[in-house]
């Protein structure tokens, strides 16, 4: 075997990881030593330099909504190491892996079902939803891209947002919202962001042509104005989204679980013909490469609220679910 393809990490030695072995509050999170994974022949072993704590992480920890238990374990999480994204470096490759080599810097999804990003190492399929990082991209920036931008891209693509359309983004200063503003702008859509007073300037700097302050402005004065209403944080009532969107427009309920979105099919829409899009975002290596190219061209930039070391991950969870964060909460290893 080519010695450049492989270095040996002592997989019988422990690594540090953040575990949530029960559902609940911040007290269920603890730092522990667990075995370092050993990559199978089709896997790469990645040393994680940074990850992030997103809505998916704290909702899984809290089993909020209850539907989480049906997928991840009825009484406790089947996979106690949370973390759906990563940025890191390949340290070992399985015998069947040809796409990557030792030293490659990668970023992307661990996969929603697999989790495992809040640890020092992770073994992932060589065909996973990740891509090479641009050479001048930091691990901190890279960890802040996949969830927010990946989620926003998924839903904007599904809604077929196009040049000249009017798009309202509610929660425009959050991880998904700040990404959605930038991606919609890159498509040349006309973006209206909604945020609190303190984040108006930030949202405008990201490319919004108009920013509404939900603490002051009467949002309902904009009835039937938008081709797409993208609700990113679960704070805008569905009836308000219905009022804002044009007839035959699209409402994106990006913060809802699939079961909640399904229920929308059976609720009234006030006689208005609209399309409702929701569920979980898709994950692909092609999406991550697309975002890497946008970053390289300086068309997007992640907004980072705060950065915590792994040992303080409980604080990172607290910040992520506080509803006061701006952009992403990053965890470094």
d(CA 83, CA 78): 14
pLDDT at 260: 54
Is residue 120 a contact partner of residue 45, using CB atoms and an 8 Å limit?
no
The residues of the chain scoring below 50 in pLDDT are: 1-7
pLDDT at 226: 98
Render pLDDT for 257-313 as a digit per residue (tens, 0 to 9): 555 555 555 565 667 889 999 877 778 999 999 999 999 999 999 999 999 999 999
Q: DSSP readout, 85-116?
A: EEEEEEEEE-TT--S--TT-EEEEE--TTT--
pLDDT at 283: 85
Tokens linked to 159: 């809604």
Which residues, in sequence order, are CB contacts of 268 under 8 Å at separation 6+?
Answer: none
pLDDT at 264: 57
pTM: 0.91
**What is the four-CA torsion angle of 260, 146, 144, 17, rounded to 10 degrees?**
80
SS3 percent helix, strand, coil of the chain, rounded to 5, is 30, 30, 40
Render pLDDT for 168-191 as a digit per residue (tens, 0 to 9): 999 999 999 999 999 999 999 999
Domains and CATH numbers, the chain: 3-145+302-332 (3.90.180.10), 147-277 (3.40.50.720)
User: What is the enclosing helix (H) or strand (E) of 57?
Assistant: helix 55-62
């Amino acid at each position: 075997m080519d010695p450049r393809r492989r270095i040996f990490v002592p997989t019988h030695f422990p690594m540090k990881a953040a575990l949530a072995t029960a559902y609940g509050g911040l007290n269920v999170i603890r730092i522990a030593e667990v075995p370092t994974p050993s990559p199978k022949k089709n896997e790469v072993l990645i040393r994680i330099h940074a990850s992030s704590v997103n809505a998916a992480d704290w909702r899984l920890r809290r089993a909020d909504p209850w539907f989480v238990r049906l997928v991840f374990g009825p009484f406790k999480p089947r996979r106690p190491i949370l973390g759906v994204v990563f940025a890191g470096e390949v340290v070992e490759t399985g015998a069947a892996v040809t796409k990557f080599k030792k030293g490659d810097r990668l970023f992307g999804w661990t996969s929603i079902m697999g989790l495992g990003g809040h640890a020092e190492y992770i073994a992932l399929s060589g065909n996973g939803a990740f891509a090479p990082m641009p050479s001048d991209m930091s691990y901190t920036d890279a960890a802040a891209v996949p969830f927010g931008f990946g989620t926003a891209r998924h839903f904007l693509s599904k809604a077929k947002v196009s040049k000249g359309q009017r798009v309202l983004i509610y929660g425009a200063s959050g991880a998904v919202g700040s990404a959605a503003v930038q991606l919609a702008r890159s498509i040349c859509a006309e973006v209206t962001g909604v945020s609190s007073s303190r984040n108006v300037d930030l949202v405008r700097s990201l490319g919004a042509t108009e920013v509404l302050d939900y603490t002051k402005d009467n949002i309902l004065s904009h009835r039937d104005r938008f081709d797409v209403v993208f609700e990113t944080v679960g704070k805008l009532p569905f009836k308000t989204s219905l009022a804002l969107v044009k007839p035959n427009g699209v409402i994106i309920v990006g913060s809802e679980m699939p079961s909640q979105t399904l229920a929308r099919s059976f609720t009234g829409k006030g006689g208005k013909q609209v399309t409702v899009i929701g569920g979980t975002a898709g994950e692909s290596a092609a999406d991550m490469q697309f975002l890497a190219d946008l970053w390289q061209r300086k068309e997007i930039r992640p907004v980072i609220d705060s950065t915590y070391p792994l040992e303080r991950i409980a604080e990172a969870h607290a910040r992520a679910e506080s509803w006061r964060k701006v952009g992403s909460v990053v965890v470094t290893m």
